[in-house]
Structure 1
Amino acid sequence: MEPTKNLTELARELWREMAEMRNSLRQYVHVKIKENNWDISMELVEILGLIYKRSGLNQQEIADIIVKDKSSMTYLIDNLVKKGLAERTEDQRDRRNKLIYITEKGKLLMEELTPWVTEIYEKATRELLTDDILNALSVARKMNENLKQ
């Protein structure tokens, strides 16, 4: 019989599971991208999905939401713009700021991507209750809060 784990050991296990879940998601997305011959990476799918739902965010807002540093965000958004999937527009309130909008081409690609993105989240949450996810979110948020203090 395995000895009872203390809070620190459980926290380490939770972090490993979350890291493994992220890696599994990345692998799944990578396979789907290859199968469909889409010229896009996991990081670009993540940003495109965000601006598909919330077009008009600035680069820092996107970086904060998807937890990337601003310098790598510049590179990723440059790639979306080069592919014609997004565009930068000057913010009328602050001309130093650029707002990122999804293009029609980007919307069409997201309409192709959305069904299988939904499929993976449905697969991952199979046999879970809404309360399970809400509790997990609450724990993860609290742990993140603690680390930021």
Structure 2
Amino acid sequence: MPVKQNNISEIALELGLAMGEMKSRLRQKIQAKINEYDPDLSFELIEILGLLRRNNGINQQEISSKVSKDKSSITYLINSLVKRELVERVENTTDRRNKQIFLTVKGNEIVETVYPWALELYKKAADDLNENDINNALLLVKKMTANLE
């Protein structure tokens, strides 16, 4: 018997809400750990540093897109990171108006300190799940996200 479209919509809504709740709880726990390390660092700043660890040299627009924040918020956050000497802006060789953002040695040290804490929390979240279930869930969420494009 086929599933009713309305039922699929409601299940998708529940999935979205559950993902939001999980992200919120992880964020709170990570922020608490960050506060012990350096009360002047925020989750948003660490999020950008972590993104740059995986994609060093991307521009502000790409950062904005990947962390789902508007460009003016990203500019403020990156200015804060530059002031703390955790990242640097470098002119793109082909387009001087386009600045690429790179982690500094100091920024990378912070990521290397904080990243294991985040991984430990994600490990705890996935404690009784198997890798195949997590991969299937990841594929499902990516497909749903792509459907919204």
The normalised TM-score by structure 1 is: 0.89
| SS of structure 1 residue aligned to 2:52 | helix
Shift of 1:106: 0.6
Q: Please list, as runs of the form range in 1=range in 2, the aligned pairs for 1:11-30 lying within 5 A after superposition.
A: 11-30=12-31
Shift of 1:109: 1.1
Shift of 1:76: 1.1
Provide the residue aligned with 1:78 in structure 2: 79
Kept in 1, the 8 Å contact 2:34–2:114? The answer is no
Q: Please list, as runs of the form range in 1=range in 2, the aligned pairs for 1:46-85 lying within 5 A after superposition.
A: 46-85=47-86
| SS of structure 1 residue aligned to 2:100 | strand
Q: Please list, as runs of the form range in 1=range in 2, the aligned pairs for 1:108-123 lying within 5 A after superposition.
A: 108-123=109-124
- Can you give the 5+ residue segments of structure 2 that lack an aligned partner in the other structure? 1-5
Distance, in Å, in 2 between the alignment partners of 1:118 and 1:92 is 35
| SS of structure 2 residue aligned to 1:20 | helix
Counterpart of 2:76 in structure 1: which amino acid? Answer: Y
Counterpart of 1:143 in structure 2: which amino acid? Answer: M
- Can you give the 5+ residue segments of structure 1 that lack an aligned partner in the other structure? none
Distance, in Å, in 1 between the alignment partners of 2:35 and 2:112 is 17
Kept in 1, the 8 Å contact 2:86–2:104? The answer is yes
Provide the residue aligned with 2:108 in structure 1: 107
Q: Please list, as runs of the form range in 1=range in 2, the aligned pairs for 1:26-37 lying within 5 A after superposition.
A: 26-37=27-38
**More moved, 6-15 vs 40-49:** 6-15
Aligned length: 145
**More moved, 35-44 vs 24-33:** 35-44
Cα deviation 1:99-127 (Å, max 9, x = unaligned):
00111111111121122111111111112
Distance, in Å, in 1 between the alignment partners of 2:9 and 2:107 is 43
- Distance change (3 Å), C-alpha of 1:14 and 1:85: same
The normalised TM-score by structure 2 is: 0.89
Provide the residue aligned with 2:138 in structure 1: 137
Shift of 1:84: 1.0
Shift of 1:38: 4.1
The CA RMSD over aligned residues, in Å, is 1.7
Identity %: 49
Distance, in Å, in 1 between the alignment partners of 2:125 and 2:69 is 24
Counterpart of 1:58 in structure 2: which amino acid? Answer: N
Shift of 1:48: 0.2
Distance, in Å, in 1 between the alignment partners of 2:32 and 2:39 is 11
**More moved, 102-111 vs 133-142:** 133-142
